[in-house]
A and B are shown apart, each in its own frame.
Chain A
C-alpha cells in the first residue's frame, strides 16, 4: 500500500544534541510537509517542500531545518533541541498544494 513512513517512531535526544527525523513516501507526491504537534494541540506547520522548492513558515525557529534529497525522502533536522521542542513531529504529503494531505504516524521526540 502507498503510504507515508516515519522513522523512528520514538526518539530520545539530549538537550542541545542535534537530531534528525526522517520521512519517506511511496505516493510520489510533489509536496512534503513537516508539522509539530504538542499535546492536545493542533498540528503546526513548520515548512514544506513543493518539489525542490523550500517554503519556511515565518515563525519557524532557525533551529529547525529540512532537507529533501529526492522525491521520496524528507528530513527534519533540529540543530540544538531544547526542552520546548519535545513534541510529536508529523510528516505529510500531498500531490500538489491545495489538496488533501496524507500523514505519517509521527515521531515522538523526547528531550532530556
Chain B
C-alpha cells in the first residue's frame, strides 16, 4: 500500500559531524515532500521542503535530496549540534482529487557531545 518509511529508527552522531536521515516513499504520484523536526513535548516544526520538479534544495545547515527514480528522500544536517536532537519525520503530499499528506514513521536523532 501507500506508505512513507524510514530505513533507520534511531541515529546517533557525534557533535560536529554531518547527519543523514533517509526516507523511502512508495507513491510515485507524490509531488511535494517536507521534513519536520519534533522535539520532546512540542509539535512538529517545518525544516525544509522540496517539490518533485527538483532533486536538491538547501537551507541553513540542511539539505534535502530527492531521488524520484528510487523513490528516496534524505535530509542532511551539516555540523550537527546538540539542539538538533529530536525526532525527524518526512512527509509526502499527493493530489488525487484532494490533497493527502502522509507522515513517515520518524527517526530519532541523538547528538553526542
The stretch of B43-51, B53-61, B63-71, B76-84 that contacts the partner chain:
B43-51
A112 within 8 A of B: no
A42 within 8 A of B: yes
Given A98-B95, A100-B49, CB of A106 within 8 Å of CB of B103: no
* B32 in contact with A106 (CB, 8 Å): no
* A45 in contact with B43 (CB, 8 Å): no
Q: How far is the CB of B46 from chain A (nearest CB, A)?
A: 5
**Chain A, interface SS category:** loop
Interchain CB contact (< 8 A) of A105 among B43, B46, B49: B43
In the complex, the number of residue pairs spanning A and B with C-beta atoms less than 8 Å apart equals 46
* B46 in contact with A100 (CB, 8 Å): yes
* A100 in contact with B34 (CB, 8 Å): yes
Interface residues, chain A, with chain B CB atoms under 8 Å away: 4, 40-45, 55, 90, 92, 97-98, 100-106
Q: Could you jot down 19 A-B contacts, CB within 8 Å?
A: A4-B43, A40-B106, A41-B106, A42-B103, A43-B89, A44-B103, A45-B101, A97-B95, A98-B32, A98-B93, A98-B95, A100-B34, A100-B46, A101-B44, A101-B46, A103-B43, A103-B44, A103-B45, A104-B43
